[in-house]
Structure 1
């Protein structure tokens, strides 16, 4: 692991430089070291030197059990990182804490974050849960597992560097049995500036054919980023719109990911009752019953006509299609109620761009239907206000089933309890802020699964004049 760490330290410099100087999508960096028995400390920073100091404090520990607390580290990183973050896990060990995979998968769905594993070894347990949870996490987060020779870590970091220059969208994600000549059509719309195809598996192969039927053979149009014994990654630069074709293969079961650089993506939400806005939806559907699904295109002013959605297996196979209805000539669409699969699934949207070219996007992460859970509450931890100002304390209440909620202060109710059939938000308004309003406010919510609460501290800032 010492050689891995040395290469990681060297590669961190170029990744940080790229993120700071060339990327418009990276807000900050998160670093979480893990080993057995400890995890952390967490470093969240925008400063290159701070990140490098945290990395330089890590040292290789010899001996002990091979499995590490990798899932605990991943869960911690997910919790402190922003939504739709990219997590890269560098390790030569499997997960000794594999039993917490459920918590990790739930947070991945909520945060819509991708997890990529860069493995330079394992614990000779590839058929045990300690390794299989890596496969579960990668599959559910639209990530991949890359098994590397220890001398190739630096080359993989070059790929990481190139991946963070812009916001990527998912175009295809499949898992294939051993073999070659697996062919798939990839619609490329006018907003895509670059397309990347990656295959993880033994002796991988990739062939790319443009819409005119011509096979790309190399630069400047086709760039091979990595070509190793277990990984192959190619990039198509400035692809013309149209239906492209890729043919891939490997000697063993392999995963295939196709992503593109584009700002056109979508958000989804589910609700048992028909929602009026995305604010009335949650990120996971209710298991075993009919759910409405709402789709919102981003950015809101994008010109596109989305016609239907697909429910896909983790292997990329279509389970069923869902016609979409546009709402009030906006970029918001809704599907008729459907019963979601019990297993993890992806959502894809399909339609036309402003030039009538096929447009396809696959969700950032997989989705799993859930049983009723306690309300999930979101409210600011701290609110600061000036004297005599108007203050609004807002609490977002996520629930797939009927829910009640209210604000309290010092254990006493300060507003009438609000009832809703589904996800809602509640506000407590202070029209004239004064010292008597300072204190701890608690948002409390209940549904059939139980109760939850979150606290907001309200403080007064500015000069306070006292007259004796």
Structure 2
């Protein structure tokens, strides 16, 4: 629903601003759903003509839709978020406040934060039509007071009976007739029960409606029997589902249109990624993070040459970067950032760098990384240069969180690793009273490049040409399909090449010396070849391998190099298959659905799934499997997951989380006999610790104190001592944030509270009503890392709701017969996955 509304609004914007009238004819909205890929493909054609990078719109939709879905993850039991338990004023206020936060973020040109706030408020708007009796009353248009700090109608009093006992189909008309005829709003009460355990202690007053569903225990109390939600066609009021979905869709379009009017054409264009000022620019930044301490003296000129070469490559692209960011770091200082629109001026700033200061070996690497990540655009490329360990690895979790949030791929050039001069401890961070030291040349799967899908490589005087070719190849990543991404020593890997692949692009990188004589391929015919690199240095080997028409099938890659190295096998192909970990959600309607997991999975967790979705297959999918590949040994398959449900374009598998870092490799077999293999670059890092930030969302008045409650969990079998760091960007905490150590016994948890004062917020100017920014919680232990953030909304004033001048009258007069006649096929109101909807109902 959210995706379709944003695509239709994008078409409206292109028509209004660019006079493009060819898209609307392909838009057919039915009950809040559409053929999203067809619409997006039409829009992409027009964006190519306008020289607007279509990834901007794609990422904007992704953010808004994901934040909508996340409300069921992080605010499942918040009544106002879902308009449950007759919390109409609280829900109306929440929508208006989040809209104000989005407006303030737009004013501050923080478009991503605006999208996050807007996506969150859409969830609540859409739930209003599914969870309340607005549709049963006879309304067929959106509530005009939503988003305007207005009371939404006449509400049932706490003493008023709203539902009666019912059984079976009689539950379709279980709302008291006077409630409907007198245009009185009510919503269902909800309490989740799973496996006999109550997760919500709220009780339903006598005579109130239940939300409904097999896990809603309130259906057992007066009024008994059924609920009134319309989330799916299988709900007790599911005969009204398509009506609720249609009105919710119109309400989504309406609030988007109102937001557009509020902020104006150009800002709304930035919100969608379609503004005229974005023409001819890519959606990302080019980021250089450079160590300029004294130890870099013999390398800094070489590093500067490589960095300038990277700039030269990017500035000549069809879509050059929107800006260029230079983040130098030293010890004990770092910065300042240079942010430039002009590549020539940026190159001049790089040229000015010189090696100076430092002295104790480890440097403030993560300070340089974090500052750059805060400033860059989504989807940016970050290249870092250093020759020393980091002494500030206490910022690593924040760097990982920022990189994941902004989808930044990090490439680290490590000059002359000095590992022999320093004692290593299996890649773990060493902790003392002031520093947390990490040896960056240990690539163990928890390193920043690996976590983000990047690589680390050495550099030398011969690196310029091969490095340039490597970067050029990776700039084509959006046109490439990854077949293999593996790391290790002495690897022997079998992989499938399908008919869509005409050549293989192979990249081998390392911080150690590589030998091309130790690499060979075996074709499906059994013929072994030892290819010659098209370009190489001591640390990079690049190959282009033609694939003949008769050479599809199973290949073997053999790398007998006795040093840690990374191998990427890529190919130009329109056939896409991607797998991702999914979290099962039992939402406030007792529906079972899935959404992407956004945090690290818990070791040995058994209630997660892998969702595989394919596009542009030459024939329908027959079956498939997902291999979990050891992140540090590309030859080792940890598990093979087979489907529990299959469709023509994808399948679902159940996951038991291993206790080591891993990557996903997907293999699908098609009806025509073709086998397609695709791999993921990103490393998945299971953990034994987790954190829940309770009572989200958080609102606090300016000059008041905010109390944030959280719970730390140790899921492992051994005791742990962990350090929690809490950092914010609004000055609620001190510059260094909040740090506290906890000792947790095996299989235990501890709850705590942190107090933050909302005083003298720098961005809270006279035009701000509500501002928002996340507070980042990071956990660190020797083998365990975890990070999560929670949005905090700061209000200038405690604004109250006002009455509407007159409450809306129902559009139609409903009757039970009308309700039966309006039943249309199954549909879900919640948007679950971006671009390809794949709903799976478990029975």
CA contact (8 A) 2:413 2:458 kept: yes
Matched, 1:38 2:337: no
Matched, 1:439 2:753: no
- Write out per-residue CA displacement over residues 136-155 of structure 1, whole angstroms, 9 at most, x where no aligned residue: 31444444332333453554
Distance 1:50 1:457 in 2: 40
Task: Report deviation, 1:50.
Answer: 4.3
Task: Report deviation, 1:351.
Answer: 0.7
CA contact (8 A) 2:326 2:372 kept: yes
Matched, 1:116 2:411: yes
1:334 corresponds to which of 652, 657, 677? 652
Pairs within 5 Å for 1:273-422: 273=585, 279=595, 281-295=597-611, 297=613, 305=621, 307-314=624-631, 315-316=633-634, 317-325=636-644, 329=647, 331=649, 333-336=651-654, 338-352=655-669, 356-370=673-687, 371-375=689-693, 404-406=695-697, 410=701
Q: Please identify, of 157-166 and 269-278, the stretch whose mean Cα deviation from structure 2 is larger.
A: 269-278
2:498 corresponds to which of 179, 189, 195? 189
CA contact (8 A) 1:374 1:451 kept: no
Larger radius of gyration: 2
1:225 corresponds to which of 519, 535, 546? 535
Distance 1:96 1:373 in 2: 26
Q: Please identify, of 47-56 and 277-286, the stretch whose mean Cα deviation from structure 2 is larger.
A: 277-286
Distance 1:38 1:298 in 2: 48
2:520 corresponds to which of 204, 207, 219? 207
Distance 1:298 1:42 in 2: 41
Pairs within 5 Å for 1:205-284: 205-216=518-529, 223-226=533-536, 228-237=537-546, 241-262=552-573, 264=576, 266=578, 268-273=580-585, 279=595, 281-284=597-600
Distance 2:414 2:376 in 1: 22
SS in 2 for 1:51: helix
- 2:484 is aligned to 172
Distance 2:700 2:396 in 1: 36
- 2:443 is aligned to 135
SS in 2 for 1:211: coil
- Write out per-residue CA displacement over residues 170-192 of structure 1, whole angstroms, 9 at most, x where no aligned residue: 43344444x6xx43222223444
- 1:393 is aligned to none
- 1:455 is aligned to 793
2:386 corresponds to which of 88, 91, 95? 91
Q: 1:19 to 1:244 in 2, by over 3 A?
A: farther
Question: What residue ranges of structure 2 are gaps of 5+ in the alignment?
Answer: 1-295, 428-437, 703-766, 776-786, 797-843
Q: Please identify, of 71-80 and 298-307, the stretch whose mean Cα deviation from structure 2 is larger.
A: 298-307
Q: 1:92 to 1:409 in 2, by over 3 A?
A: closer
SS in 2 for 1:250: coil
Q: How many residues align?
A: 397
SS in 1 for 2:366: helix
CA contact (8 A) 1:407 1:442 kept: no
Task: Report deviation, 1:440.
Answer: 0.8
2:366 corresponds to which of 71, 89, 92? 71
Distance 1:354 1:59 in 2: 60
TM-score (norm 2): 0.41
CA contact (8 A) 1:23 1:164 kept: no
Q: 1:247 to 1:311 in 2, by over 3 A?
A: closer
- Write out per-residue CA displacement over residues 62-113 of structure 1, whole angstroms, 9 at most, x where no aligned residue: 5522222223323444444455544332222222223444444455555554
Question: What residue ranges of structure 1 are gaps of 5+ in the alignment?
Answer: 376-402, 412-436, 459-468
CA contact (8 A) 1:304 1:351 kept: no
Matched, 1:55 2:385: no
1:198 corresponds to which of 490, 505, 508? 508
Distance 2:594 2:375 in 1: 24
- Write out per-residue CA displacement over residues 419-467 of structure 1, whole angstroms, 9 at most, x where no aligned residue: xxxxxxxxxxxxxxxxxx971166999xxx9994333899xxxxxxxxx
Distance 1:231 1:211 in 2: 27
Distance 1:116 1:54 in 2: 21
- Write out per-residue CA displacement over residues 296-335 of structure 1, whole angstroms, 9 at most, x where no aligned residue: 53768897636222222212221112223557x4755432
Q: 1:405 to 1:298 in 2, by over 3 A?
A: farther
SS in 2 for 1:96: coil
- Write out per-residue CA displacement over residues 350-370 of structure 1, whole angstroms, 9 at most, x where no aligned residue: 213686432222223111234
Which structure features the higher share of helix residues? 2
Matched, 1:159 2:454: no
Which structure features the higher share of strand residues? 1
